[in-house]
Amino acid sequence: MSKNVVSADHQQERVRAKLNPWYIVGFVEGEGTFHIAFYKDIRMKQIIKVIPEFHVNQSYLRKNTLELIQEYFGCGYLKANHAANPKDTTYVLVVRDREELLTKIIPFFRTYRLQSVKRDSFIIFAEIVEMMAKGLHRTQEGIRKIIQLAYQMNVGGKYRQRKKEVLLKLLQSSETIR
């Protein structure tokens, strides 16, 4: 066996050396988002499933930049952004795993702070993920607070398809059923 074998630790150090953390911050300022998705799921105690997501989008021409960011963090997955739309040729790096968000993404953006209003959304995002780590999304009061906070993110939820009141009404109906 060769003495020049490079360990996985050294490979990760090389990837980290390729990207300046401030480059990632700037890239996320323009092409990233911190998002809390909500889905109706009758298997869930509160009828609503909460999914925290960190996304970074980019044209297929610069997919390699997303790959480098993914390697830097050591988590997430790449996929076609809107696979059902043949005209959309963008890719997205997605991190949904709560443990990876808690141990990699959130600490990174606490160290290398965003400079725009996106920072406000990140702060709320981090609070929600930490609430979920404590199990608060499994309580009526906790999920209400999570919904209220999530609708303050990303320009006050302006681009959300479902209104906050619809989610809160779902909670009320689930309370009545139980």
Instruction: For the chain, list the domains and their CATH numbers.
Output: 18-177 (3.10.28.10)
Condensed to tens digits (0 to 9), the pLDDT of residues 41-87 reads: 877 777 889 999 999 999 989 999 999 999 999 999 999 887 778 78
Instruction: Check: CB of residue 38 under 8 Å from CB of residue 49.
Output: yes
Condensed to tens digits (0 to 9), the pLDDT of residues 134-171 reads: 999 999 899 999 999 999 998 776 677 788 888 888 88
The whole-angstrom separation of Cα 76 and Cα 33 is 14
Lowest-confidence pick of 40-44, 92-96, 106-110, 156-160: 156-160
The predicted pLDDT at position 86 comes to: 79
Query: How many H helices and E strands in the chain?
Result: 9, 4
